[in-house]
Structure 1
Amino acid sequence: MRHQRVLVLFFILTLTTRCFIGSESTKFIIQNRCPDTIWPATLAGSGTPQLASTGFQLSPGSTTSLDLPTGWSGRLWARTLCSTDSLGKFNCDTGDCGSGTITCNGAGGAPPASLIEFTLSGHNGNDQDFYDISLVDGFNLPISVTPQGGSGTKCNTISCPVNLNSGCPGELALVGAGGRAIGCKSACFALGQPQYCCTGGYGSPSTCPPTVYSKYFKGACPQAYSYAYDDGSSTFTCSGQPDYLITFCP
């Protein structure tokens, strides 16, 4: 009898712990369909914990997954053209987080980088997941997000499937070895002027309309954020706590 009581108590404690930490919550399934190895990374938003992995290697054709706690918010991106120097310092040509290691440990990626942003249900009382693809920090890789389950009129697959590097305006291009564009900077990052950053006298939707540069991003990737005030056609929501398939180079 004592052994049975211990088993019952263990079961109750295990179930309670799972409910508390949200182990049955959202999962990211991350796949690399690019021809080259990439190094995805994550950064938690304010007030939510960093994930168990903040950076990892993903070879072509590979898939991995990450578990997210209830109410998590943050971003995910991929670093490209990474290597380790003679002193053992890890660095990447795009999306580098400056940690010197494969894990980013709470640091964000340097622009230009294609971002996926999430605020999951349970965060500040939300009953929906909010997600988007953002090119506000520029572009380095095509990307897509597909809910696995869930419901809602805006619970859709979203993508930026086009390689924007090849046609990037010269003044925005990040050029790598051999003169090839490996990233496309935002006009704010590249030019630093308030009309592109929506700052100063341009700090409202009415005074900061789309520019020729943001229209380049939006024309190719209409579901993605192209600049700061591009909310209307760029934010998506799901109810029902789905998982999300994140594909680089869909």
Structure 2
Amino acid sequence: MEKLGLALVCLLLPILIKGASSTTFTLKNNCPHKIWPAALSSSGSLPTTGFELQSGSTLKIQAPPKWSGRFWPRTNCSTDASSEFSCLSGDCGGGKPECAGTGGAPPASLAEFTLQGHDNKDFYDISLVDGYNVPVTIVPRGVPECNSTGCGADINRVCPPELQARSPDGVVLGCKSACLVFGEKEYCCSDDYNDPKVCKPTNYSKIFKDACPQAYSYPYDDATSTFTCTGADYDITFCP
């Protein structure tokens, strides 16, 4: 029994230690072009809210215990003659590479986290509720039994014309949500549709779900889209 007890302690010790410590996010850019990842915290704070990431590069970010928030990619960013920084996709305002406390302008692919929440579990998901701009995956590291999730498909290729977000020269930069484009309550799950029994998948949300079955495609898409883990660090890869 003593050997069994010692073995159990050895198994649980990394998780117990991890539960009281920070979580490491490793952001990787596998896209063939530069991106500018951004972050927004809803609980706790991170050492950065936005930065440039060259193709093939990675950056590690330490998140404090109980942190929650989101990461997303910004693309086609530049600085104008007045030194004002902006992005054509996922822009978060402020005029600088670091965000000014706001989320990304949709459409943007979101990697969302709540660390050490209910029962000390991490909750994480990929959300396309606000649309899509770049493929992204989440892979837990250090805890083999935890599931990965993500959207590795290029939804811009199958995005219907009425949902396309285009650059001034006509390049498709992202795929908007039907809620953003049409504002109808059945697409936004608002008003009398603000109920999981009433608000159901639409022909538009199914485009996102068919391409990326693990990702949120509309607000009440919880059953197949939320994942949990305890004691992991996380790799977030853009263009996996």
TM-score, length of structure 1 as denominator length: 0.86
Corresponding position of 1:243: 233
Deviations 1:58-101 (A, max 9, x none): 00000110000000000000100000011111000010001110
C-alpha distance in 2 between matches for 1:84 and 1:49: 30
Q: Distance between the aligned counterparts of 2:94 and 2:100, measured in 1?
A: 7
Matched residue pairs, number? 222
Q: Say if 2:17 is the partner of 1:25.
A: no
Q: Report matched runs for 1:204-219 at 5 Å.
A: 204-219=195-210
CA contact (8 A) 1:74 1:119 kept: yes
AA partner of residue 239 (structure 2): C
Report the residue type matching 1:90 in the other structure: F
SS of residue paired to 2:155: coil
1:34 aligns with 2:31: yes
Aligned partner letter, 2:128: L
Moved over 2 A (4+): none
- Residue number in structure 2 paired with 1:173: 164
Q: Percent identity?
A: 53
CA RMSD, Structure 1 to Structure 2 (Å): 1.3
> Which of 103, 106, 115 does residue 120 from structure 1 map onto?
115
Tell me what 1:3 maps to: none
Checking the alignment, whether the CA contact within 8 Å between 2:163 and 2:177 is kept in structure 1 is yes
User: What are the within-5 Å matches in structure 2 for residues 1-250 of structure 1?
Assistant: 24-45=21-42, 48-121=43-116, 123=117, 126-150=119-143, 155-239=146-230, 241-250=231-240
TM-score normalised by the chain length of structure 2: 0.89
SS at match of 2:73: strand
Q: Identify the residue that residue 12 of structure 2 maps to in structure 1.
A: none
Q: Which amino acid aligns with 2:66?
A: G
Structure 1's unaligned 5+ residue stretches are: 1-18
Segments of structure 2 that go 5 or more residues without pairing to the other structure are: 1-16
**Greater Cα radius of gyration, structure 1 or 2:** 1
- Matched residues in 2 for 1:30 and 1:217: separation? 23
| Residues 1:98 and 1:105: Cα distance change in structure 2 (over 3 Å) | closer
